[in-house]
Amino acid sequence: MPLSPEQQAEIDELRSQPRETLRSVAPGMEAHLYKALPVLDHGFVRVIDYMGDDAAICQAARVSYGKGTKSVQNDEGLIRYLMRHWHSTPFEMCEIKLHVKLPVFVARQWIRHRTANVNEYSARYSILDREFYIPTPDHVNAQSVVNNQGRGGVLQGAEAARVLEILKADSNRAYDHYEEMISQDGQDGLARELARMNLPANVYTQWYWKVDLHNLFHFLRLRADAHAQYEIRVYADAICKVVADWVPAAYGAFEDYRLGGATLSGKALDCVRRMLKGEAVTQEDSGMSKGEWREFEAVLGGSE
């Protein structure tokens, strides 16, 4: 359970006080506001605020005086056109502010996305909770033998049990020492900003993360992808659901052109053209490296 009863009561109170506004609202997003979507064992994503909707993208694209909406069909066509042609600035007119609770090793990957505004929980000021990410047994995998930056099959039996035991015991021992060092019971107590250095990378942190829709799509394209590490991918997947409810037309275009689409190099496109003419093209006469050819075949075969 990622939220305490007090935190849940705060959210319920916020949700019980709707206010009138002249701003455009997205009904799908109103349903998400303040609620926490659970992710991993102690994490969550929740929408704190947002600006804009599908109509705001069209309004900006048309630099309109009014709502900028013509018809739903017309707007959807415009949004698809903008996405197809990488006309990105209208998507920057929409913004989202999230509260995210995530393990530190996930935060290290996440923070690489520089085009967002972040404010993180201060472990100099506050005491961190005894909350560590411990994977479920189906996510305790061996090192991949084909991809140095990935994982292979799930560890089994005694090895899996021992790994989980080590993770739990080390996390708890580190936290016991953290508590011992900051304690002011009969001693001065080490500063929190120093004591935290002893905590492992699976300890949870929290931040507010604000980003515009264009840069959010860039984040989701990279992190809701099979190549992304599972532990960040589940956050991206949760955000995808929120975005689909917020801006359904823009998300539909993103899903089609970016998540579901593929970019082909000039050489790959040439191979497709030769194949369409009935030519048997091989890696050797494609002009592509073995790695490129493997990825090209995966795109054509629909496995990537």
Ligand X SMILES: Cc1cc2nc3c(=O)[nH]c(=O)nc-3n(C[C@H](O)[C@H](O)[C@H](O)COP(=O)(O)OP(=O)(O)OC[C@H]3O[C@@H](n4cnc5c(N)ncnc54)[C@H](O)[C@@H]3O)c2cc1C
Nearer to ligand X, 70 or 218 (CB): 218
Rg (CA), the chain: 24
Site string for ligand X, 53-82 (x = CB under 6 A): ------------------------------
- The string over 90-107, giving b where at least 16 C-beta atoms fall within 10 Å of a residue's C-beta and e elsewhere, is bbbbbbbbbbbbbbbbbb
In sequence order, what are the residues at sequence separation of 6 or more whose Cβ sits closer than 8 angstroms to the Cβ of residue 129? Answer: 204
- Residue 24 is a binding residue for ligand X (CB under 6 A): no
| Size of residue set near ligand X by CB under 6 A | 9
- The string over 255-269, giving b where at least 16 C-beta atoms fall within 10 Å of a residue's C-beta and e elsewhere, is bebbeeeeeeeeebe
Footprint of ligand X on 139-168 (CB under 6 A):
none
Q: Is 120 one of the annotated binding-site residues?
A: yes
Are 247 and 26 within 8 A, CB to CB?
Answer: yes
Q: Is 213 one of the annotated binding-site residues?
A: yes
User: Which residues on neighbouring strands pair with residue 141, listed in sequence order?
Assistant: 154
CA separation for the pair 65, 243 (Å, rounded): 26
Q: Is 177 one of the annotated binding-site residues?
A: no
Q: Is 42 one of the annotated binding-site residues?
A: no
Q: Which two tokens stand for residue 24?
A: 């455009």
- Residue 215 is a binding residue for ligand X (CB under 6 A): yes
Of 167, 222, 264, 299, which lies in the binding site for ligand X, with binding defined by CB under 6 A?
A: 222
Are 83 and 254 within 8 A, CB to CB?
Answer: yes
Q: Is 112 one of the annotated binding-site residues?
A: yes
Q: Which of 15, 80, 223, 273 is catalytic?
A: 223
In the complex, what is the shortest distance from the CB of residue 192 to ligand X, in angstroms, rounded to a whole number? Answer: 29
Site string for ligand X, 104-133 (x = CB under 6 A): --------xxxx------------------
Q: Which residue is nearest to ligand X (CB)?
A: 114
Q: Which two tokens stand for residue 95?
A: 């913004």
Annotated catalytic residue 15: no
Which residues carry out catalysis?
A: 223
Question: Which residues belong to the annotated binding site?
Answer: 89, 109-114, 120-124, 196, 212-214, 218, 223
The contact set with ligand X (CB under 6 A) reads 112-115, 215, 218, 222, 227-228
